[in-house]
Chain A
Amino acid sequence: MTDSNSLSRRSLLGGLAVTGAAAVGCGEDAPTGPSADVPTLNALLTAEYQAIKAYEAGLAVLRAPPMGDPQAAFSAPLVVIAGNWQNQHRDHARELAALIVTNRGTAVLESAVMFTAPQGFTPSVANVLKLACNAEKAAAVAYNGAVRALNSTNSRFLAGTIEGDETQHFIVLYTILKGIVAPDPAGLITNIGEVVPRSFVSQVGAGTGSAPGMDQRGLQTVADFTYT
C-alpha cells in the first residue's frame, strides 16, 4: 500500500492495534488511597464505640440502681446481659477496624469517641433499657443504610452480619419493655448467655474464637433444636 488513504487506514488499524494491545497488556494501577467505603465504615465504627461507652454508662446504673428504683430487683441478670452485649459490640468494632485497615484507611480511635446521655435521661433501670433499645434500633437502621451505600461486597456483608445482631438486641429489649415478653427468672439465669447468643449473624473471618471481644462466630454454631 502506497497511497495516502491506504497509509491512513493502516495507521488507524495500527493505532487501534497498539491501543488494544496497550489496553490488554497494561492493568489498572493498584489503588493507593483509602477505598470509598472507608468513611462509611468509620461512621459505623464510631457508632460501635459509642455503643460500648453507652453500655459502660448503663452498667454503672445497673450495678448500683438508684434508691427506690422499682426495677432494681432485675438489675443483676441485666448486668450480665449488658456486659455480654457490650462485648459483642467490641467484636463488631474489632472487625470494622480490621476492614478499614484492609481498605487502606485509618480507623477512628475509640479514645476519640464520647458518649453523652440523651436529653431527658435520668438514671434508672428502665431508662437504661429504653436508652439501649432506642440506640440498638438506630444502629440497625444505620447499618441497613450502610449496606446500600457501601461498594464492596465484603463491606456490605460485614455491615449486614452485624446489623442482624443489633436487631436481636433491639427486639429483646423492645418486647420486654412493651410487656409482650416476660423474662422467666429461673430460665433466664440458666440461659443468660443465650440472650443473643452470637456477635454476628453469619461468621466473619475464620469464624473462630469465643472469648469475649474476640468472637468471630455466627449463628451457624448455634445448634438446631431437635424434634421430640
Chain B
Amino acid sequence: MSNEDLSRRDALGGGAAALLAGVGAALAVSAAGREAEAQGAGDAAVLNTLLRAEYDAIRTYEAASGSLGMPDMADPDRALGPAAALIAGHYLAQHRDHATRLRDMIMSMQGTPVDQSTILFMAPAGFRLTVRNILRLACNKEKGAAIAYMNSLKTLSSQAAAELAAAIGGVETQHFIVIYLLLKGAAGPGMMAASMISEVSPRAIVGVTGDSMGLAGVPDFTYMPL
C-alpha cells in the first residue's frame, strides 16, 4: 500500500470515526428527546386528572355556596351556615388558583388541559343540601384530593410538576383537617373567624420555586413573655 493510500485510509478512518460519533450523538439526542416527550405527555395526563378533581371541587363549592349562605330554616346546623359559607368561599378561590396553575403547567408540556365545562357537579346518591352534609361532602373530597396529589408523586417525572403537586396537596390537607375537626365537634368557629377568614388557609400553595405566594411568606409568630 502506498503512502497516499495510507493517508486516504487515515483520512477515511478519521472521518468515519467522526461520522460515527456524530451519528451516535444524534441518535442519543433523538432518543432523549423522544423520552422527554413521552414523559411530558405522561405528566400532562396525570396533571389533567388532578385538574379534573380541582374543577369538581370548584363545582361542589359553587353548588354549596347558596345553601350555606342561606340555610333552610329547619336545618339543625343553621347557625353554622354563615361561617361555613365564608370558609367555602375562601377554599373555592384557592381551588381556582390550583386549577390555573395546573392548566398553565399542562400547556407548558404541550398538553391540552381538560375543559372545565365538561365537569359537572353530581351530588352523591341520597344527598340533601344541608349545612352538615355539604361540609361532609367537602371534607370527603378534600381528603380524596390530598391523597391523589401525594400519590401522583409516584409517577410524575418532572421536578416542577412534582413540586406543584406537593404544593397544592399540602393545601388540600389543610382544607381537610379544618372541616374534619369542625365536623367531629373538636372545634368550632373562633371569635376572629368572620374577620380573618382568609387565614383559615393562608396560602393557596405550600411553596413553588420562584413564587412568593407560599407559606414561607406567612410571618412567624413571635414569642411573648408572661
CB of B83, distance to nearest CB on chain A (Å): 10
Supposing A66-B226, A121-B223 touch, asked if A180 and B124 sit within 8 A by C-beta, the answer is no
User: Which residues from 162 to 188 on chain A have a C-beta closer than 8 Å to any C-beta of chain B?
Assistant: 163-168, 170-172, 174-184, 186-188
Please choose the segment from B64-72, B96-104, B207-215 that sits at the chain A interface, where 4 or more of its residues have CB less than 8 A away. Answer: B207-215
Q: In this complex, which of B155, B184, B218, B223 has the most chain A Cβ atoms within 10 angstroms of its Cβ? A: B223
Q: Are B209 and A148 in contact (CB under 8 A)?
A: yes
Q: Are B206 and A163 in contact (CB under 8 A)?
A: yes
Supposing A163-B170, A167-B174 touch, asked if A157 and B136 sit within 8 A by C-beta, the answer is no
Prevailing SS type, chain A contact patch? helix
Q: Are A219 and B140 in contact (CB under 8 A)?
A: no
Q: Count how many pairs of residues, one from A and one from B, have CB atoms less than 8 Å apart in the complex.
A: 243
Chain B CB within 8 A of A50 CB: no
Among A70, A197, A202, A227, the residue within 8 A (CB) of B128 is A227
User: What residues on B are CB-neighbors of A159 within 8 Å?
Assistant: 153, 166
Once bound together, how far apart are the Cα atoms of A18 and B110, in whole Å? 39
B190-226 Cβ-contact flags toward A at 8 Å (1 or 0): 1111001101111000111100001110101111111
Once bound together, how far apart are the Cα atoms of A164 and B201, in whole Å? 13
Once bound together, how far apart are the Cα atoms of A114 and B180, in whole Å? 34
Q: Are A182 and B191 in contact (CB under 8 A)?
A: yes
Q: Are B5 and A4 in contact (CB under 8 A)?
A: yes
Supposing A171-B174, A225-B183 touch, asked if A126 and B224 sit within 8 A by C-beta, the answer is yes
Chain A CB within 8 A of B9 CB: yes
Q: Are B181 and A181 in contact (CB under 8 A)?
A: yes
User: What residues on A are CB-neighbors of B172 within 8 Å?
Assistant: 164
User: What residues on B are CB-neighbors of A219 within 8 Å?
Assistant: 143, 146-147, 176
Q: Are B166 and A227 in contact (CB under 8 A)?
A: no
Chain B CB within 8 A of A133 CB: yes
User: Which residues from 193 to 220 on chain A have a C-beta closer than 8 Å to any C-beta of chain B?
Assistant: 194-197, 201-202, 218-220
User: What residues on B are CB-neighbors of A201 within 8 Å?
Assistant: 146-147, 149-150, 169, 173
Q: Are B171 and A167 in contact (CB under 8 A)?
A: yes
Supposing A12-B20, A124-B226, A178-B196 touch, asked if A144 and B151 sit within 8 A by C-beta, the answer is no
Q: Are B154 and A184 in contact (CB under 8 A)?
A: no
Chain B CB within 8 A of A160 CB: yes
Please choose the segment from A28-36, A83-91, A134-142 that sits at the chain B interface, where 4 or more of its residues have CB less than 8 A away. Answer: A134-142
Chain A CB within 8 A of B167 CB: yes
Q: Are A130 and B169 in contact (CB under 8 A)?
A: no
Closest to B197 in A: A180
Once bound together, how far apart are the Cα atoms of A165 and B149, in whole Å? 13
Among A16, A70, A161, A186, the residue within 8 A (CB) of B150 is A161
Among A134, A153, A184, the residue within 8 A (CB) of B187 is A184
User: What residues on A are CB-neighbors of B163 within 8 Å?
Assistant: 144-145, 147-148
User: What residues on A are CB-neighbors of B12 within 8 Å?
Assistant: 5, 8
User: Which residues from 1 to 42 on chain B have a C-beta closer than 8 Å to any C-beta of chain A?
Assistant: 1, 5, 8-9, 12-13, 16, 20
User: What residues on B are CB-neighbors of A70 within 8 Å?
Assistant: 226
Once bound together, how far apart are the Cα atoms of A144 and B170, in whole Å? 9
A-B contacts, 25 of them at CB < 8 A, read A8-B16, A127-B224, A141-B207, A144-B170, A144-B207, A147-B165, A148-B209, A153-B154, A160-B150, A164-B146, A167-B170, A168-B173, A175-B190, A179-B193, A180-B189, A181-B193, A182-B191, A183-B186, A191-B184, A191-B186, A194-B184, A218-B147, A222-B143, A227-B128, A227-B137
Beyond A191-B181, A225-B137, 14 additional pairs, beta carbon < 8 A: A8-B12, A66-B226, A124-B226, A143-B170, A144-B163, A145-B207, A149-B159, A167-B215, A174-B202, A178-B190, A190-B186, A194-B181, A202-B150, A225-B139
B: which residues have CB within 8 A of A? 1, 5, 8-9, 12-13, 16, 20, 124, 126-128, 130, 132-133, 136-137, 139-140, 143, 146-147, 149-151, 153-157, 159-160, 162-163, 165-167, 169-174, 176-178, 180-193, 196-197, 199-202, 206-209, 214-216, 218, 220-226
